[in-house]
Amino acid sequence: MNLIVHENYDEMSVAAAERIASIIQERPTATILPATGSTPMTAYADLSRMSDAGLLDASQVRVFQLDEYLGLAETDFRSLFAWTLRSLVAPLGIPRDRVRNLPGQASDPDAACRDYDAAIEAAGGIDLAILGLGPNGHLGFNEPPSNLDAPSRVVELTPESITSNGPYWGGTDRVPPQALTAGMSVIRDARAVLLLVSGEHKRSILERTIRGEVTPDCPSTWLQRHPNVTVFADRAAAGYLPSDN
């Protein structure tokens, strides 16, 4: 794992946007697996500015949705699909038919997850996973415990994730208890992973991710086994961890 520490969130976001843009410029048909959540939002806004300025053409990029709450329609404003569309897909001008969702309202969610994994394979795999870090080490909604070979699937959210997502829902009692997630196996097989981490509240889980024992009980520690992971963190999250650049 390569840890790059930036002084603050805005600098980290600019650097992340530049890294994502350079991957897309090198491979205009890149397949990406982008997180929602608060951490990558400024990077996405920076990418959108590059696109508006004509510095980035993302129109051929392919997107696989990282995770979704079970039971939510993709048109629901609170769905992670809708969030992905409005924060990244629409601002970058990526055609809707190049976006593969994880259908929260599938009549058979298990079969839908199998189809999703097959679609990723048919697309030739993921070039770049853009991930945030859950307070319990979840990646996407791969909640602890998650094995490295876990396929895309339906998961029960842990109390910790329900608490951390409560503010988006106006209270923890409103957060859907289950979700669909791209599996750890999808992240494992991604050709590159960019993990974005910001804020003092992520300091201990970031240290555990990088230095802790590799265990299903903290899914982000599996990233230690991945050959191409770059962590972009701000100083508040990195604490005294040394930057590799």
Residue 76 a catalytic site member: no
- Residue 67 CA to residue 33 CA, distance in Å, equals 9
Q: Per DSSP, what are the bridge partners of residue 4?
A: 232
Residue 201 a catalytic site member: no
Of 46, 68, 136, 226, which is the active-site residue?
A: 136
Query: Going by DSSP bridges, is the β-strand pair 2-6/229-234 parallel, antiparallel, or unpaired?
Result: parallel
Residue 8 a catalytic site member: no
- Residue 129 CA to residue 220 CA, distance in Å, equals 13
Residue 138 a catalytic site member: yes
- Supply 67's token pair: 């995770």
Q: Which is nearer to ligand F6R, 109 or 141 (CB)?
A: 141
Q: Which is nearer to ligand F6R, 127 or 141 (CB)?
A: 141
Of 46, 67, 68, 127, which is the active-site residue?
A: 67
Of 46, 68, 127, 143, which is the active-site residue?
A: 143
What is the closest distance, in whole angstroms, from the C-beta atom of residue 79 to ligand F6R in the complex?
Answer: 11
The Cβ of residue 171 has, within 10 Å, a number of other Cβ atoms equal to: 8
What is the closest distance, in whole angstroms, from the C-beta atom of residue 14 to ligand F6R in the complex?
Answer: 17
Of 46, 68, 127, 138, which is the active-site residue?
A: 138
Interface ranges with ligand F6R (CB under 6 A): 35-39, 66-67, 80, 132-134, 138-140
Identity of the residue numbered 5: V
Q: Which residues contact 100 (CB under 8 A, 6 or more apart)?
A: 62, 63, 64, 65, 116, 119, 120, 123
What is the closest distance, in whole angstroms, from the C-beta atom of residue 34 to ligand F6R in the complex?
Answer: 8
Interhelix angle 9-26/41-52, rounded to 10 degrees, is 50
Q: Which is nearer to ligand F6R, 51 or 146 (CB)?
A: 146
What is the closest distance, in whole angstroms, from the C-beta atom of residue 53 to ligand F6R in the complex?
Answer: 26
Residues annotated catalytic, as ranges: 67, 136, 138, 143
